[in-house]
A and B are shown apart, each in its own frame.
Chain A
Amino acid sequence: MSQRFPYNDTSTDGADNPAIQIYGRRFYKDQTPVEYLAEFLLVFASPKGPSPDLSEDEGERPCVFSFSVGDGAAPVEYWPKDRVALKLFAFFPTSKLDTRHDAHQKAYSEALSKLAQAIKAGEVEKNEAIRLLQSLFAGFVGVAKTRTWVTQSFLPVSDALLAREVTWKHPEALKNKDGKDEASWEEMCAYFDRGTHNFMGRGGELLFMQLAHLFHCLPKEKMGDLLPAQVSESAKRLKVCEVRDVLEDSLQRLLTESIGPVGELARFCEELLCDYQLFGKDSALKKDSSNRLGWVPVSTIPEAALFAIEAYHIVIAELSPLEKIERLQTLCLMQVLRSLCFNAVRYLREAVSDESGDDFKVPGTQGDYSWICANPTVSSTHASGKMAQRSMENIESILYRVIRLPDFSHDLQKVGEKKVSQALKNGDDNCFRLFRKIGKDLGLVVPRVGKGQRFVLPPHLLHFLVIAIIEPGGRIPLDTFYERVFAHYGIALGPRQLAAALAGQGQNGAAHHEYAVAADTRWIEETLRQGDFLVELSDAVSIVRNPTARAALA
């Protein structure tokens, strides 16, 4: 079957989940958009390595802020921080009442008084300062929803706000079968669970592994050999290791220096409240605090290369740090969608023979699939809306078929009939339903409810495409822009791309002569002009440019 990276990863977790077998471990349906980026940056910033013996000394932490995972043979572990103390301070006052335990309440009051001692000001000003800090941290909440305070997560703007997922087992704590002292924070810590992956569902880990695999395998290659021909000249000349170095450096600076004061304040609070860390003082349990990274199929080099070059363009642009974080978040989500499609087509192409007539080739794309996007303002009954709808159906059918290939389902026969259907449903949830969910979160698929789901390209996604695909300060003609977008993502915008996309849909889509290929690109040009990305030279020729300057690399 598929080769894995790390190479000797033989874990059988997820052997009954065809989605994991195809895409790697794993993309999970309940992971929110913010958490993809948060998990990705968490793995990037945490110490990691294949060795289970972690040196206690802070100075020797291996592979912090880096993409290197050792020799790539042994399974990799990483040691993320819990940040429970910070979450207690920031999120406890506004969290839901149902899952607050008395021990937490007591700990919270003690924490406040400890903080008050460390603030040098009058009594009234002390309280004011505490409220200010809480308000500041609460402003950086990433996902709150209806979660317990400890499961809420921060926006990943600083490395001091990156934290792993911790769940509070409230029913067990209430029952207290082990008879722990209900008033003591340390004892009740036993009911915190660090091993769940309900929200940080390993999606970010998988994105990290894609890049780590690329940088590990092919450091000396030129990007031009791995990327499609349409990519920019400057990108073609870069070596993979140069891209890696710039990415590591820029991401590290983004997380540590750009938003320095927030990190300092967070560390200050954590230091003061170190008594309320999870198993903070108990070094024996520290060894259990690692997470094992999943695995990724080795065939994911093409999409990893595209991911790397787009991330490169975003981090070297002169944008404000928070805007960079937002663009990186969009990039992570688009990469998830892209990986789903790339891998599915890969397996289907191997498995399906010529007799069905599909050869899964769409010339001009890297991934041999296409997304035909319509103008967001036209209805689904318009011709272009219908084409976009067909395209969406085509992609969903590809994702549906791939997990039912005999390669993956014959493993399931061993576990029994009922379990097969259960496993397939599980796989569906994490394949095409995941695609739909992320597409709707991004705004790529409308409407959110109701029939007529189709691909659209809203303005913010078009702006993201310009920033990610064109290097800062670069200019390309509009036709080249359409070609590049088609090559990177399979998004068909111009007339030639539309024709290629319709031809490539083959049996799954309608025969391409059913719709006259009326490619009206005026809405794209209008949106680009609104964002100051388009310069019109004449009626026929326009230039797309990336107006952000290149940030001076220190």
Chain B
Amino acid sequence: MLHSLRQYAKGRGRPQVEDDILEQLDLPLNAEHLEQHVLDGFEKPLMILNLSRFDNTELGARLLRRLVDHPGWQGCDGCTAYHTPCPIRLNRQALLDVGELAEQRLRWLYRRISEYEQRLTLRQIVAQLAFSLTGGMSCALAKAAIDQSSAEGIARGTEALGDIVFSEGFFGYRGGRPFPDAQGLRAVELAHRMHFGGPVSPVYERRLLAKTAEAWPQLPESLLHLAETWRKSGNSPPRRAALRRMLLLFGRARPGKEDDMNAFVDALLRSPGLRVLDDSRQQGRLAMSRIEVGSRRNACLDVLREAFSGFTASQFGPRDDDLYMTLRRPDRAVVQPTQLVVGSLSFKDFDLDYDPVARLPVLTYRRGRRHAPVELRLSLPLLDYILRRADGELGAALDPIHQAQLDGFQAKLLHLDDARSRQEGEITLLRADISGSVEVYSYILDKDANGKPQRLVMQR
């Protein structure tokens, strides 16, 4: 397309068209303002839409319903094995039982994968869902497995179910162990690479091994026996991981235990900001109470201050709510205990908002109408980093991509007049003293009648 348009435009004396097309392709899809996507300059206006900018995670999650409800399942009605414990039936039944919950969990999973790794195409998503429904098992194999089983009743299909259950196939596992054949599917490979299912905390581990009937999340009935079997072999780490994954996809919180479930999911997905982001997208606005918005905004700004100056939030005094931008060496080759402040803005002039076009939370500086608002879009990895750092977790490193975004934000803020409006000759220094607490020193460089610097006067 680029090539053809380039040739077409050359004949019409418009060699710049390639830049314009590439710019169009970079725009996020905006259904309300379609005129943004129109390219003028030819006989007819051209509209260019980049479908890969379309967010297909929601659609992908909804597809599961279609797959599970498909009329093709009626072919199973005549099967003798079907009313006994066919593992494929049990798998599907579990998904029917949890209903919308599975859709929500899938949406979270796909959001996590596409924000952190790569965007999945709809075809890849469908392939993954279809594989996970049956786990690659055919009817003949299912019947054989039931016949060979020595258990009774519903338990006869349990072992086979353990191989093909949805929560295992989705991540490329089989009964707790990695299943290399499944990883030929791109989506399964990405999901596997993220290693979901790790231990969460001792409290949750203890609950994991408690009796399933009293356990804190409810599982659909068709999976209860399988969960019980896995729980009994509790000393096997792969089985425990498989159990956690099952709880992730199928576990419904008992009334009153929703917070526990949320914390569990956050920890298992290793993304504290995921649910907030997803709820905000569903509602079209920031899904937080006013107080939460204020405290999250302060958390963001604390982390930004640390990224800009190198001093953590605890080193500043409690009343200090200024965002300092300092002259900090980018090579970090030399420690700078004293830094010169080149600009400062108050925390109160920032807002945490939701951008409906980019569908992300944004941190905006919006004081005064003189300039366009300066924004920092909080994509999921950046949001997670900020929330983790605000909780005080060390060891969270910032990707180069996000470091570059923060540097760009700082450069834009420095260009604002408000950042630099200070008295002529005023010099502000930040220094971390021996106890680590940061003090702000302010001086004025006084000049004599000829304009030559004469003396340094301390301010406060």
Contacts and interface: CB of A to CB of B under 8 A. Distances in A.
Interface string B22-38: 11011000000000000
B330 interface: yes
Interface string A472-512: 00110100000000000000000000000000000000000
Interface stretch (A69-77, A209-217, A259-267): A259-267
Given A268-B453, A532-B401, A259 B342 contact: yes
A477 B2 CA distance: 10
Interface stretch (A1-9, A318-326, A424-432): A318-326
B329 interface: yes
Contact of A125 (B52, B411, B412, B458): B458
Interface stretch (B268-276, B361-369, B423-431): B423-431
Contacts of A138: 334
A543 interface: yes
Interface in B360-418: 399-401, 404-405, 407-408, 410-412, 414-415
B2 A541 contact: yes
A538 interface: yes
Given A262-B327, A459-B400, A547-B408, A120 B456 contact: yes
A405 interface: no
Contacts of A284: none
A458 to B, nearest CB: 12
A118 interface: yes
A135 to B, nearest CB: 4
B50 A537 contact: yes
Interface in A511-554: 529-532, 535-538, 541, 543, 545, 547-549, 552
B339 interface: yes
B411 A530 contact: no
B445 interface: yes
B456 A531 contact: no
A238 interface: no
Given A136-B340, A537-B25, A323 B407 contact: yes
A197 B16 CA distance: 49
A264 B52 contact: no
A267 B454 CA distance: 10
Chain A interface size, under 10 / 10 to 19 / 20 to 34 / 35 or more: 35 or more
A143 to B, nearest CB: 10
A530 B445 contact: no
B329 A530 contact: no
A155 B404 contact: no
Interface residues of B, number: 50
Contacts of B342: 259, 261
A129 interface: yes
A526 B278 CA distance: 27
Contacts of B357: none
B404 A119 contact: no
Contacts of A545: 22, 26
B457 A120 contact: yes
B75 to A, nearest CB: 36
A132 B431 contact: yes
B404 A261 contact: no
Given A118-B455, A531-B404, A135 B427 contact: no
A126 to B, nearest CB: 8
A320 B410 contact: yes
B441 interface: yes
Contacts of B427: 261, 264-265
B408 A474 contact: no
Given A320-B411, A322-B328, A530-B400, A119 B452 contact: no
Given A129-B443, A538-B52, A135 B431 contact: yes
Contacts of B292: none
State the 6 A-B residue pairs at the shortest beta-carbon distance, nearest first: A139-B336, A121-B458, A268-B453, A135-B338, A475-B22, A120-B457
